[in-house]
Amino acid sequence: MNTSIDTERRLALEVYPKRDVCIVRGEGALLWDDQGNEYIDCTAGIGVANIGHAHPAVVAAVSRQAARLITCPGIFYNDVRAELMQKLIGVAPEGLERAFLCNSGTEAMEAAIKFARITTGKNGFVSAMRGFHGRSMGALSATFKYRQEFEPLIPGHRFVPFNNIDKLESAIDENTAAVIIELVQGEGGVRPADPRYATAVSELCKARGALLIVDEIQTGFGRTGRMFASEVYGVSPDIVAVSKAIAGGVPMGAALCSERIAPAVGKHGSTFGGNPLACAAAIATIEALLEQDLPGQAAKNGKHGSTFGGNPLACAAAIATIETLLE
């Protein structure tokens, strides 16, 4: 019997349906188990490994930073955090000028929901049916799936059919703080938004005084052929939630905000958010994405289905793009 598998089976409070394999190493788009078997990672680490596993630049950055400073809470300034914020805002969709750093996608969504409430003074939210935004109680309240066992959730959240402009228009009222949308629904079946719908969402939010929160946790960092799907659709969100591919596999998330979003000093925070180790990994990841033009490679290879030619890092990005756009 495999010792590692047996140990996890005995000790883990299980929340995942497991495959009967123990992964011990990765490189580019490839993985190896503890028996030496080689696999192509067609999940891209569940959307994380846009630049591939164990990218040399990320490995080097993490190693250097670990020897220098691993953690630094947000009550102090930090050089690596500042550098990452500058890079993040530099690649973010136009109009996003500030960043809150955290540890995961669901934390990014929790922050986005709280920031929307603080900014607008309202507590209503409109999300799409079949949408997925996270599993913590706030993010789950905006999620159409996985709700039943955990209700009652946070009140004020309502759901409308994806790509239905009329239903969305009727759902936004004077108490709506924000509309929350994935421009490509992930767990909802990899369903892209109709361009007319995406434009209507943006215009309705502006007309009704509601914020637009775009969940780019899965679509961000090159997967749709641009750095962010918001650029593909030409929308201007007030908040973009990102995570997954942001730091090459090191846990990190962020809420990228426009100047419209109110400061939240003393109202939100994260002990580990923006720690120098994760920031160093994210800097190296963003640089790799840009230097190798992986968004461009994703756009090119995504048009050709299974034509992946090139190095494993391009393959990892192309695999993820195909999953998102063509499944």
Beta strands in the chain, from DSSP E residues, in sequence order: 23-27, 30-33, 38-40, 96-102, 124-128, 157-160, 176-181, 184-185, 191-192, 211-215, 239-242, 253-258
The closest alpha carbon to 158, from 180, 126, 185, belongs to: 126
244 is catalytic: yes
Indicate the average pLDDT of the chain. Answer: 93
**Which residue out of 132, 144, 162, 308 is catalytically annotated?**
132
Task: Please state the three-class secondary structure of 34-52 as a single string.
Answer: CCCCEEECCCHHHHCCCCC
30: β partners: 27, 40
145 is catalytic: no
Q: What are the Cα distances from residue 124, in Å, to 103, 158, 193, 274, 289?
A: 26, 8, 22, 29, 37
Averaged over 39-47, what is the pLDDT?
A: 94
Sole residue written with tokens 């846009």: 50
Tokens standing for 318?
């192309």
Say how many C-beta atoms besides its own lie within 10 A of residue 40's C-beta: 14
- Confidence band for 312, pLDDT divided at 50, 70 and 90: very low
Tokens standing for 246?
């942001």
**Which residue out of 215, 228, 238, 308 is catalytically annotated?**
215
**Which residue out of 162, 221, 244, 308 is catalytically annotated?**
244
pLDDT tens per residue, range 246-288: 999 999 999 999 999 999 999 999 999 999 999 999 999 999 9
Rounded Cα distance, 192 and 120, in Å: 29
- State the pTM of this model: 0.91
Cβ distance 30 to 41 under 8 Å? yes
Packing angle between helix 312-326 and helix 294-302, nearest 10 degrees?
A: 50
Tokens standing for 127?
């999300």
Averaged over 299-319, what is the pLDDT?
A: 57
- Confidence band for 316, pLDDT divided at 50, 70 and 90: low
Task: Please confirm whether the linkage preceding 161 is cis (ω < 30° from 0).
Answer: no
The closest alpha carbon to 240, from 89, 46, 72, 21, belongs to: 89
User: Which amino acid is residue 316, in one-letter code?
Assistant: A
Rounded Cα distance, 297 and 314, in Å: 7
Rounded Cα distance, 129 and 143, in Å: 8
- Confidence band for 315, pLDDT divided at 50, 70 and 90: very low
pLDDT tens per residue, range 122-137: 999 999 999 999 999 9
Which domains are assigned to the chain?
3-54+293-326 (3.90.1150.10), 59-286 (3.40.640.10)
125: β partners: 157, 178
**119-154 b/e (C-beta count within 10 Å ≥ 16 → b):** bbebebbbbbebbbbbbeebbbbbbbeeeeeeeeee
pLDDT tens per residue, range 75-95: 999 999 999 999 999 999 999
Cβ distance 223 to 321 under 8 Å? yes
Determine phi and psi for 157, rounding to 5 degrees. -100, 130
132 is catalytic: yes
- Confidence band for 2, pLDDT divided at 50, 70 and 90: confident
pLDDT tens per residue, range 142-177: 999 899 999 999 999 999 999 999 999 999 999 999
- If phi > 0 it is left, if psi is from -120 to 50 it is alpha, else beta; for residue 19 that is beta
